[in-house]
Amino acid sequence: MNSVVELPNKFKMWEADKPELDAGLFGVDRPGVAWDWMVQTNQAPEGADWVRPQVAEAWDRCIEDYGLIPRVNQLWPHAIIDVASGVRTAPATNLDVRTALATMAFNLQPVLRGTSVSLLLADGAGTLIHAMESGSSLGPMGRRLVRLGESWNERIIGNNGLGTAAVLGETVAFERKEHFSSVLHPFATVGHPLFAHDGSLVALLGLITDQRSSAQTLLGFVRIAGYLIETNLFECQAPGAFMLRLRLNKICVGSDEQNCLLDGLISLDTAGKIVGATRAGLNLLRVERHSEILFRPVEMVLGVAVDELRACARRCEPVELEIFSGWRLRIELIVRQAGAGEAVQPVRDLVATKGAVRRANYYAPGQVAKRAAQEPWHDAVGEAALQKAINLQKQKIPILITGESGVGKDHLVRMIHANGMRKGRPLVLVNCAAIPRELISSELFGYAPGSFTGARNGGKPGKFVEAHTGVLFLDEIGDMALDLQTALLCALDSSEIVPVGGSKPVTVDVQVIAATNSDLADCVRKGTFRRDLYYRLNGAQFWLPSLRERPDKLGLVQYMWNQEIKAQSIENDKTLSTEVWDIFERHPWPGNIRELRNVLRSCLAMTVGDQTQVSDLPEDFLREMNDSTQCEEDGGSELVSWPRARALPEVKALVAWEAEAIRSALAKTSGNISQSARELGITRATLYHKMARLGLRK
């Protein structure tokens, strides 16, 4: 369908991207109407009057190139792994690159916490390899979509942020019914391709949210995050003995220089040939593709020899060059000691081509055990929180630790106590959820002799007094009764407690650490937790990620496996099979580290030979793999909210939908053109034009 208003091409694109075109025709959004029409006709709409050109082209690829069929109640493809057999069907990824990317993505989580946005990381073929879903409220279907191993390839599920970014090689965003698959209609998805030093696609960074009108807002965030991740990956993984850092000598204004604030990076081998570059580097050099500069001497590209660059580096002098007329760059050479004698090796991961998926060198999950055994494992997440907490302890600042149940909050508290200023002093643990409400006051503050029936003759000191000069750990603080929160607040503010039945205050010196798996900020909004107590406890907050979100998950599994072998004094060497490693990698781990410890202990007890097989895993653990995709026979698991089937409306051409919408708007407004135009989300002139073309009257 051709656009009604004849505008130059560049204005048609602008007109299609305006928000008013997606505002809806009498309550029906244009992409939604176009998608319903596509379901009926199995044809993608033409022109930019109903959907953006990018959406129309993607739908056309899905139907014509991939042979996909749009359906109303479309089902997401089945899980990639068969738990019963442990057969892996998804290709493995380069472990070094994958770990580096997952760590960088993990470091973005503070920005997204408290939002309903999940951060996704997929390999070049569109298979999810990492997901950060903390704080998301995507519901059962959303949690199903972010399972590791799920494919977001455009050939399989239609256009989406991740899959289409891989096809187009650029940042893309889709909202609701702009997606080909009806499963994605409740969401907005954004994707950004991540490229290696040689321009090959190495991974995909994406976001998914259930918030309306969020795609365009998140587009800028994922683009900036993607460029930063690419830069970090380049510095860690790109080959070469030297690296050049490029930046504009003078900040300029101009839409075509949108990346001028980003430093460009170029790597050189010992002979001075270019062996890698970031996209920001290409932009600063005014070239479009890596092939234009790769393996060419830097002297041919920049006009300066590598020896001259090295001489300037020794004198700590930057080099200023005029690449083009008025286009001056400031260049700094960095000597990379680790790459001084290395041969050039591409960092290709998985590159999805139109006909097949190209493989490169990779480590299968089973090989992680060998690599982990050779290198000592360090809990980077816990150690970072530990160092900050120790510094805070010097100032007696309250600490709040948040995270899901089983992530190791109590372990972190013990580490803080053992390494902090109060080591050797008492560490008193109080589970606020395990003590009855009527007893918790006496447990915390103690009681005087004879204060109530059954009280000890000498009274009881209470947890605050027991923790004097030490650390008091209040676990599950979110479950504390509201009336007791007032007494706790007074004790924290005054450093004095009054025992139950007593009248004389007792001075105490304690470092308070609280922990919860509840969203205390949400509890404050609901009125179940005191706002002033929340801010009193939240002197500094540490969030511990779930096991499924940790970038070092496989290393942690191997470390705990070795610890359990030592604890049980098992002499013969036992290992986990490749199939078991694959299940461990993709499992949702709702019980987190606590569940992992129990599963590993069970595996050691059930393993007969030297290698643990899938049959040695607990049955309930295997069933958890499918909890998000199917219902348990006993009805105990959460139902997946598949879209309900609905009757298809009568097949109509798009022009008929348009005429019906205009008639409805005119009827609602009693023929008022201005009000009708506002209802339709178009201008008065456009409405007059459409009425004349369709032969409609007031």
pLDDT at 427 over 90: yes
| pLDDT digits 0-9 by tens, 522-541 | 889 888 899 999 999 988 88
Is 239-339 the same fold as 95-235? yes
pLDDT score of 15? 38
pLDDT at 191 over 90: yes
pLDDT at 339 over 90: no
* Dihedral angle over CA of 335, 340, 343, 347, nearest 10: -40
DSSP notation for 351-419:
EE-SS-EE--S---HHHHHHHHHHS----HHHHHHHHHHHHHHTTT--EEEE--TTSSHHHHHHHHHHH
pLDDT score of 359? 32
pLDDT at 123 over 80: yes
Asked if 464 and 444 count as a contact pair (C-beta separation under 8 A), the reply is yes
| pLDDT digits 0-9 by tens, 573-624 | 888 888 888 888 888 888 899 999 999 998 888 888 888 888 888 888 888 7
The most distant pair of C-alpha atoms in the chain lies apart, rounded to whole Å, by 97
- Range of weakest confidence among 120-134, 179-193, 325-339: 325-339
55 φ, ψ (degrees, to nearest 5): -70, -45
pLDDT score of 154? 93
Question: CATH 1.10.8.60: does it fit domain 549-626?
Answer: yes
Residue 138's pLDDT band (boundaries 50, 70, 90)? low
Distance CA 214, CA 51 (A): 17
Asked if 50 and 33 count as a contact pair (C-beta separation under 8 A), the reply is yes
Alpha carbon of 328 to those of 242, 331, 523: distances in Å? Answer: 21, 10, 56
Distance CA 628, CA 78 (A): 11
pLDDT score of 355? 33
Residue 310's pLDDT band (boundaries 50, 70, 90)? confident
pLDDT winner (highest mean) among 162-171, 390-399, 489-498, 643-652: 162-171
- The tokens for 14 are 């602008």
pLDDT score of 363? 42
Question: CATH 3.40.50.10490: does it fit domain 380-543?
Answer: no
Asked if 407 and 592 count as a contact pair (C-beta separation under 8 A), the reply is yes
Which residues are registered as beta bridge partners of 474? 430, 514
pLDDT score of 381? 78
Which DSSP category does 430 fall into?
E
| pLDDT digits 0-9 by tens, 8-45 | 333 333 333 444 444 443 444 678 888 888 888 888 88
pLDDT score of 626? 62
Domain boundaries, the chain: 9-72+648-694, 95-235, 239-339, 380-543, 549-626
Q: What fold is seen in the domain 9-72+648-694? A: Arc Repressor Mutant, subunit A (1.10.10)
Mean pLDDT across the stretch 131-158?
Answer: 77
Which residues in 358-371 are b (16+ Cβ under 10 Å) and which e? eebebbebbebbee
pLDDT at 243 over 70: yes
DSSP notation for 631-662:
--TTS-SPPP-PPPP-PPPPP--HHHHHHHHH
- Beta strand 540-543 pairing with 399-402: parallel
| Domain at 95-235: CATH architecture | 2-Layer Sandwich (3.30)
| Domain at 239-339: CATH architecture | 2-Layer Sandwich (3.30)
